[in-house]
Amino acid sequence: METYHSNAPLKPIVQQSTHNTTSWIGHRSGETNEHISGQTFTCPAAGKLDCIEIFSVYVNKKIPVALTLYPFDTERKIWGTALATSTVEFSKTDNETWIAFPLKGLQLNKDMVYGFKLKTDDGLLGVGEAAGCLNQLPYAGGQEWAANTIDQKGKYFSYLSLAFKVDLRA
């Protein structure tokens, strides 16, 4: 695996850092239906992706969590072919903190819409989420997506947004 190095400054190009509720990923003890969450976003500038961060609210045990990034068609609500996946191991001490998923070197393009999905097969992760209302959306540049193993198509919500940051080297 090649390590990506750059002297360009790192900056969050997209962020929604409010979290007044929690989105659950994975499954509770004894439950077989896996919950999957995601977020779409519009990239306001071109640059090399360094990482995507999410705000971890709760982790019930040591678990691997995968973040997969896709191009996203907003009109048809279709996820494109996966661009990259990053897996990070979370532990019980990763509560109330930002966790970075390295995705170094992937080129993101200005005004393109992307989305990421978060999934774990072995435990329960609470991700910070902002709940808004019709007149006060938490993030106007995309939608939160929620699905499970029974309803894999999922649903999209404009009034909800995961707490996330997209860090680029512009």
Domain for residue 77, yes or no?
A: no
Domain for residue 47, yes or no?
A: yes
Residue 30: the pLDDT is 79
In the predicted model, residues of the chain with pLDDT beneath 70 are: 1-9, 170
DSSP H stretches of helix in 35-163? none
Q: Which amino acid is it at 76?
A: R
Domain for residue 78, yes or no?
A: no
Closest CA to 143 of 54, 16, 55: 16
Domain for residue 109, yes or no?
A: yes
Domain for residue 75, yes or no?
A: no
Domain for residue 76, yes or no?
A: no
Residue 1: the pLDDT is 33
Residue 149: the pLDDT is 87
Domain for residue 147, yes or no?
A: yes
Residue 134: the pLDDT is 83
Q: Which amino acid is it at 35?
A: H
Q: Which amino acid is it at 157?
A: F
Residue 109: the pLDDT is 97
Residue 124: the pLDDT is 94
Residue 7: the pLDDT is 52
Residue 5: the pLDDT is 41
What is the rounded CA–CA span in Å between residue 84 and residue 106? 8
Per the structure, the complete domain to which residue 60 belongs is given by 11-69+92-169
Q: What is the pTM of this model?
A: 0.91
Domain for residue 101, yes or no?
A: yes
Residue 143: the pLDDT is 97
Provide the number of structural domains found in the chain. Answer: 1
